[in-house]
Every structure is written in structure tokens, then in C-alpha cells.
Amino acid sequence: MAGVPQPQSDLIPGCPRHVAIIMDGNGRWATQRGRPRLYGHHAGARRVREIVECCPIFGVDYLTIFAFSTENWKRTQVEVAGLMNLFRRYIIKETRALVTSGVRVRFIGDRVRLDRKLTQMMTELEAATAQNSRVHLTIAINYGGRDEVARATKRLAADVAAGNLSPDAVDEETLPRYLDTHVLPDPDLVIRTSGEARISNFLLWQSAYSEYEFIDTLWPDFTQAEFQRLCTAFGGRDRRYGGVRR
């Protein structure tokens, strides 16, 4: 990841500042090749590195990726265990490159169900990259939009009960301060790979006015060129946020 150039001429006019990606299709990609699903997940992890590398070149400041949902626990024990091992291996393998490349890493999602070793590694990676700002990479693990809103509401209710927040002060500007993403801007563009046209409980509150792209490409085949094409196309969108163009 080190050594990625940032020529000013490569920046995309009107590029989305924050892109969120539902990285779908790893299992199908592996099945098409007669390999186990975990083979696809490993290929998908390598693709993450390539997409992160090109973010500063295109002008993307924030990249949020959906790595493991609250519903993914329903998968086989073998696949879940393999994914958890993959997350640990990713952190071990990528930490140095992330630090030296100026990538700041954050994790969102409920960490309670994750094993202690993994959560410790996640915390250490966040601390190791805390001073970086070239790219803000957010990884959603054991994340669900509804779960996030429920957890945020509990924290908000606790502040109300403790007298730290007046009920009259609660509005649509208040709740986001309790979300996992409270330090991030809302995503401008949400991309879902693999041909599925649904949002799968991802960033429900934050994506209220995001632009969406549903593409047929399976995540391990998602290239920097396709990412560039989508970012360029975003620049031509007419974003009115419920209003009308005057």
C-alpha cells in the first residue's frame, strides 16, 4: 500500500468524499471456480487493499466497507470461524502498510460478541493509525444498521434518564451523535457488488440521501478502474436532498 502517488491531475471532479461499499459476491466467486467459499473471502480481502490504495488518487477521503453483518452469524460455523481468522490475519498483515500509507482505521459494530483477541487487535490497530488522515478506512464487523440505531437509542435514553439530556432536545441532529459513525460524514455514494439490489441493513440512518450503485461485478473482480468509473459518474448526479433545482 506504500508508495501510492497522488498526482493532482488524477483527482476526479465531483468525486464523492465518502464511499461505502457492500462487498458482496465472495462466496459465489469461489464457487464459480470450484473452490470453498473462504477462498473467495481471501480474494476479497486482497481487493480491499487495492481499493484503499486508489482512494487518495481519486479524491475519496472516507471509505467504509461492510465486512461482517449481525446476520452473518447464521452462516456455517466453518465459514464464520474462517472469517474471524481472516480478520485477525488481515490486521497482522496490513498494520504496517496502513500506518506508513497514512490510512486511519476505525471499526464499527457491536464488539461484544467478538472474541477478546480480535477486539484487542482491532483496538490496537485503531490506536496505531490514530494520527493518520490520508484515507479514513472504516470496517464494519458484527454491524447491522438496526442494531446500531437500537444501541444508540439506549445510550441516548440513558443520558435522558441521568438528566444529561433534555427529552425536548432530542431531534434528528441528536441521535447521530450516539451512532457508531458519529465522527464520520454521511456516505455520498453506496456501492453494492454482485448484482443484488438491496441494502442489507447497512448504514440505514446515514444513507438517507446517499446515491446508490448496484453493479453485477462480484467483489473479488471489482477493479480500481470500475471504482474510478463509478466515482466519475457520481460527479454527474443531481443531488437535491428533497428540494428542487432553481
192-242 pLDDT, tens digit each: 999 999 999 999 999 999 999 999 999 999 999 999 999 999 988 776 666
Measured distance CA(106)–CA(123) in Å, rounded = 9
Provide, rounded to the nearest whole percent, the portion of the chain with pLDDT above 70: 93
**Over residues 17-45, mean pLDDT:** 97
Domain layout of the chain by residue ranges = 12-145+184-232
Burial class (CB in 10 A: 0-12, 13-18, 19+), 246: exposed
The pLDDT confidence band at residue 9, using thresholds 50, 70 and 90, is very low
Confidence (pLDDT) at 239: 64
Measured distance CA(69)–CA(1) in Å, rounded = 26
Measured distance CA(231)–CA(8) in Å, rounded = 16
Provide, rounded to the nearest whole percent, the portion of the chain with pLDDT above 90: 90
C-alpha radius of gyration, the chain, whole number: 18
Strands (E), the chain: 18-22, 62-69, 103-108, 135-143, 189-192, 211-214
Return the CATH fold of 12-145+184-232.
Undecaprenyl pyrophosphate synthetase (3.40.1180)
Contact 164, 186 (CB under 8 A): no
First to last CA, the chain: 44
Contact 195, 216 (CB under 8 A): yes
Residues known to be catalytic: 24, 72
Length reported for the chain: 246
Confidence (pLDDT) at 47: 97
